[in-house]
Structure 1
Amino acid sequence: MPETLQHIMTEMTPWLQQYGYLILALAIAVEGVGIPAPGQSLLIVASLLAATGQMSLPLVLMVAGSSAFTGNSLGYLLGIKCGDIFIEKGWIKESTEIKLHAFIGKYGVIALLLSRFIEGLKQTIFIGCGMAKMPFHQFLIGNTMATVLWLTLFGLGPILISEELTPILTFYHHHQQLFWLVITVFGIIGLILFSVILKRQRAKIAND
């Protein structure tokens, strides 16, 4: 097993062996409300433990997915209800709020996809969406897409590519911004093409 992955296994396995799915659920959920936790690392280790029969993969995915979605949603609600209080108490700096609003205003739903994979931003983006009053239906779509993508990469991915995980993670951690910039560009291009095709189809139907 690669050295970096072995280190993660050594650090996280005792937690999962002692507290099981509970620690996995809590660590992932609290990240959605702005509290840093090793949820992603625990998910990777739980996935690998499931591959050896020490945990149930369906349960790992179900617990991780529901915890991420629920924690993100709670963060969104806290942003709506308590955003002003967070700023007054200094728990969220005004400069951070401005950056979050700008990021969310620029990328919309795509911001949720990007942020779920960037440390620091993934702990604040969901509260930021609430503070920015992102429409609930947009947040619901973005939260669902982000959760599914994250779960696929870090829940199923480790099992499929466990031997190649270290170089991939190393590249990802060193080039996070470039990686997601490329993904964003291709995503925007795809959305533009889809919108153009949809408009042409509607125009064709209207003309007919």
Structure 2
Amino acid sequence: MVDSSGLPGPLAALQPLLDHYGYAALALLVALDNMLVPVPGQTLLIVAAVYAGTGRMNVLAVAVVAWIAAAAGAEIAYLLGRREGTRLITRFGRYVRLTPERYAKAEDFYRRRGSKVVVVARFVDVLRQTNGLLAGSNEMPHRRFTLWNAVGAAAWVAAWTALGYTAGTDIGPLYRQALRYQFVLLVAVALAIVCAVLRAWWRARKRQREES
């Protein structure tokens, strides 16, 4: 068993899952983490990579299992969004001020820039869990989503597996630093969305003034 003394609390707390259930636990939590359920799949992936670095798990198996689980989880969320997303948004969108006009703009945004969103979203909490649903509800073409979903899952798994595998039980400081960067990325994404919304609103106001 890997000594937990070098691991920060969130990582050490998940060690029993790998000790008892191994790759099955990794597959389940990673899939759920990419499928609307806020479970610590990313954290367990890092612990599995640390295990691989000490020889307790196989690093290639960790990467392949996590990649398949991440891609599959997002695919399921996509299909749910494709079937039920529009109905749910139409029914409940007004409670979050998501009007049909704003939803139409979101659809257009996903059609034009959805590929980048699908890849980058993997590295941002909340977006990682909801990315598939949003892509499906906004009718991003399935083949296009599947391709970029696989690419994004591969990049996400490769980054965290490499970090855990190379750092080993000394991962504590690197993990905390990575979380800080992830928070900064989340803020940057939020600001980008706000700027995009404001830009669209300004253009709409400008067109209205020109037409009047």
Question: Percent of aligned positions with the same letter in both sequences?
Answer: 28
Query: For residues 102 and 73 of structure 1, what CA distance do their matches in structure 2 show?
Result: 21
- Aligned-pair CA distance for 1:13: 0.6
* C-alpha contact 1:2 1:166 (8 A) present in aligned 2: no
Aligned length: 182
Aligned-CA RMSD value = 3.3
Mean Cα displacement is larger for which, 93-102 or 115-124?
93-102
- Aligned-pair CA distance for 1:122: 0.8
**1:120 aligned to 2:89?**
no
* C-alpha contact 1:25 1:64 (8 A) present in aligned 2: yes
Match of 1:24 in 2: 26
Q: Give the secondary structure class of the aligned counterpart of 1:161.
A: helix
Alignment of 1:105-116 (within 5 A): 107-116=113-122
- Aligned-pair CA distance for 1:149: 0.6
Unaligned runs of 5+ in 2: 190-212
Q: Give the secondary structure class of the aligned counterpart of 2:64.
A: helix
Query: For residues 14 and 2 of structure 1, what CA distance do their matches in structure 2 show?
Result: 11
TM-score normalized with structure 2 length = 0.71
**Gap change, CA 1:141 and 1:95, over 3 Å in 2:** farther
String of CA shifts for 1:62-88, please: whole Å, max 9, x gaps.
Answer: 211110111111111111012145447
String of CA shifts for 1:107-153, please: whole Å, max 9, x gaps.
Answer: 32110121101111111011100000001232122112111111111
Unaligned runs of 5+ in 1: 183-208
Match of 2:12 in 1: 10
Mean Cα displacement is larger for which, 156-165 or 1-10?
1-10
Matching residue within 132, 143, 146 for 2:149: 143
Query: For residues 46 and 103 of structure 1, what CA distance do their matches in structure 2 show?
Result: 36
Match of 2:44 in 1: 42
**Gap change, CA 1:154 and 1:35, over 3 Å in 2:** same
Alignment of 1:55-66 (within 5 A): 55-66=57-68
Mean Cα displacement is larger for which, 47-56 or 104-113?
104-113
**Gap change, CA 1:113 and 1:95, over 3 Å in 2:** farther
Query: For residues 120 and 52 of structure 2, what CA distance do their matches in structure 1 show?
Result: 27
Match of 1:154 in 2: 160
Alignment of 1:159-198 (within 5 A): 159-162=165-168, 165-176=171-182, 178-179=184-185
**Gap change, CA 1:170 and 1:107, over 3 Å in 2:** farther
